Amino acid sequence: MRTIEVNQIINREKLSPLQWLVFILGFLVFFCDGLDTGIIGFIAPALLDDWGISKPQLAPVLSAALVGMSIGAIISGPLSDKFGRKGIIVTTTLLFSVFTILCGFASSTQELMIYRFITGVGLGAAMPNISTMVSEYMPVKRKAFLTGLAGCGFMLGISCGGVLSAYLLEGFGWSKVIILGGSIPLLLVIALLLALPESTQSLIARNRQDKALAILEKIQGHPFSEPVKLVLPQTETTNENPVKIVLGKYLWGSSMLWLCCFTSLLVFYLLTSWMPTILKTAGFSTQQFSLIAAIFPFGGVIGATIMGWYMDKVNPTTVIKYAYLIAFGLFLVAGVV
């Protein structure tokens, strides 16, 4: 029996139809994740007017999903290890879709806050799993670029939420806009159930060799000519506690990555959540503030695509340094303008 490492099949020069399918479905999950994450910010000005509430009263509603996303991201890893990535991706996509729809029927800030919190759990759990799934199916030479490109769906989803709000908010009201935003992922759930393959690495880790072999045969386009045993990519093994390693040997690097994530998400969610309300207060119309706010995450699509391409060519750390430096300068310019 021949032993094959799973990445020997995955690392092709040309992506197979199944790999493209995983990429497209991954992009769509990111898109729906971004759509339902950002849509609450776009409908916030109309919600303030309709319910006659103040901005401080709305703040817990806008923050609830972010708290839920943190919890969802933490619990999704152990759950996917036990039940597989596909099941978690489908379940959490269904979760944030249903509870986004329920937000449209909320009658109080407390009720809306609970719905947004549960929505956030689904949003936060879906994203790391679909990101890992896409990464596992992409060839190593183009892994950073294609995984980053699929992740652009998140920013594009937020931008589309702004476009939807610009043209539908005044005519249909905030509740119908958010119900529409939650209905779109329901269609995706059906596609995921029918077409998304399971993670081959997850299958091998759970001793389901037959299903992993069937998927890899689809990728290579023909059956294996002899009995094969699949193994996971070799990694450095150690008996040390992983948390101790991160907080010891890799403390500095980990701290910098955490800081990058913290500052990026702080600025990103602050602006996407509150920019429409701030612009309305400044005197912009519904269509104007929705479209202006939609431009911000759309810029992230361009930035992530460019960064992903460069990260495959040069040191990724260097790309991150210069990206932050450029962002710092542009925020200063935006503040002056």
Domain boundaries, the chain: 2-336
Per-residue pLDDT, 334? 81
Residues 267-285 have a mean pLDDT of 87
The whole-number pLDDT of residue 90 equals 96
Residues 249 and 153: their CA atoms lie apart, in Å, by: 35
pLDDT band at 82 (very low <50, low <70, confident <90, very high): confident
- In the predicted structure, residue 1 carries a pLDDT above the cut 80: no
Provide mean pLDDT across the span 131-151: 89
Q: In the CATH hierarchy, which top-level class contains the domain 2-336?
A: mainly alpha
When the pLDDT of each residue in the chain is averaged and rounded to a whole number, the result is 89
pLDDT band at 316 (very low <50, low <70, confident <90, very high): confident
Q: State how far the Cα of 21 lies from the Cα of 150, in Å rounded to an integer.
A: 12
In sequence order, the β-bridge partners of residue 230 are 4
pLDDT at position 126, please? Answer: 95
**Cβ 299 vs Cβ 159: under 8 Å:** no
Q: Which whole-number Å values give the CA distances from 43 to 110, 226, 279, in the listed order?
A: 17, 58, 13
Comparing 245 with 95, which gets the higher pLDDT?
A: 95
Lowest mean per-residue pLDDT among 109-113, 116-120, 121-125, 206-210: 206-210
Q: Are 210 and 129 in contact (CB under 8 A)?
A: no
- 300-312 pLDDT, tens digit each: 888 888 887 888 7
Q: Is the pLDDT at 226 greater than 80, yes or no?
A: no
Residues 9-15, mean pLDDT to the nearest whole number: 86
25 touches 196 (CB < 8 A):
yes
What is this structure's pTM? 0.86
How far is 24 from 151, CA to CA, in rounded Å?
A: 11
Please say if the pLDDT value at position 240 is more than 80.
Answer: no
Q: What is the DSSP letter of 196?
A: P
Residue 235 has pLDDT above 70, yes or no: no
pLDDT of residue 204: 86
Considering Cα of 242, then 140, then 130, then 153, what sign does the dihedral take? positive
pLDDT at position 239 is 66
- Mean pLDDT in residue range 30-43: 93
Query: In degrees to the nearest 10, what's the CA dihedral of 76, 253, 318, 322?
Result: 80
Distance of CA 11 to the CA centre of its chain: 24
